[in-house]
């Protein structure tokens, strides 16, 4: 995921995900887990994942596409590594509810400009 407008890049390496998971700040909601960490760079990097027992590849890819489309709506504060993890319960959530939940998580964590 690369958005040139607000300088967002994708977390690509497994080691980057592990660093955020081990050392990052964790926020949990009903359907999502948000982890973030300061990366000391002038851009933010975002990674999206789902829990292992989420379902088939089709279901995992669907939720990841939905989350990506929601994340493109926001301007992120630079200098953060962010990981969003979809819980198994998020399979049945409607798009608008997922959008509101992600916005609440990002706002409470001070990761987006308002």
> Binning pLDDT at 50, 70 and 90, where does residue 7 land?
low
Q: Which residue has the tokens 């592990």?
A: 18
> Binning pLDDT at 50, 70 and 90, where does residue 3 land?
very low
- What's the order of all strands across the beta sheet hosting 80-86? 8-10, 44-50, 80-86, 32-38, 25-28
Tokens of 71: 């994340």
Question: What's 8-108's CATH class?
Answer: alpha beta
Tokens of 33: 């887990």
- Could you state, in order of their start, the residue ranges of all structural domains in the chain? 8-108
Residue range 41-68: average pLDDT?
87
Tokens of 35: 């982890």
Give the ranges where 1-114 is alpha helix by DSSP (H): 14-23, 57-71, 95-108
Q: DSSP assignment, residue 76?
A: B
Residue 55 is predicted with a pLDDT of 82
Of residues 99, 109, 105, the one with CA closest to residue 77? 109
Residue 84 is predicted with a pLDDT of 94
More confident residue, 96 or 113: 96
Residue 8 is predicted with a pLDDT of 66
Q: Does 5 have pLDDT greater than 70?
A: no
pLDDT tens digits, residue range 10-47? 888 989 999 999 999 999 999 999 999 998 888 889 99
Residue 91 is predicted with a pLDDT of 83
Asked if 86 and 31 touch (Cβ cutoff 8 Å), the reply is yes
């Amino acid at each position: 995921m690369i958005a040139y407008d607000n300088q967002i890049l994708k977390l690509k390496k497994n080691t980057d995900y592990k660093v955020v998971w081990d050392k990052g700040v964790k926020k949990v909601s009903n359907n999502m887990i948000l982890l973030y960490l300061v990366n000391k760079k002038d851009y933010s990097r975002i990674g999206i994942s789902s829990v292992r027992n989420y379902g088939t590849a089709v279901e995992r890819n669907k939720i990841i596409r939905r989350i990506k489309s929601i994340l493109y709506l926001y301007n992120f504060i630079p200098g953060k590594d962010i990981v969003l993890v979809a819980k198994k319960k998020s399979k049945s959530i409607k798009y608008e509810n997922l959008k509101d939940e992600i916005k609440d998580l990002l706002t409470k964590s001070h990761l987006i400009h308002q």
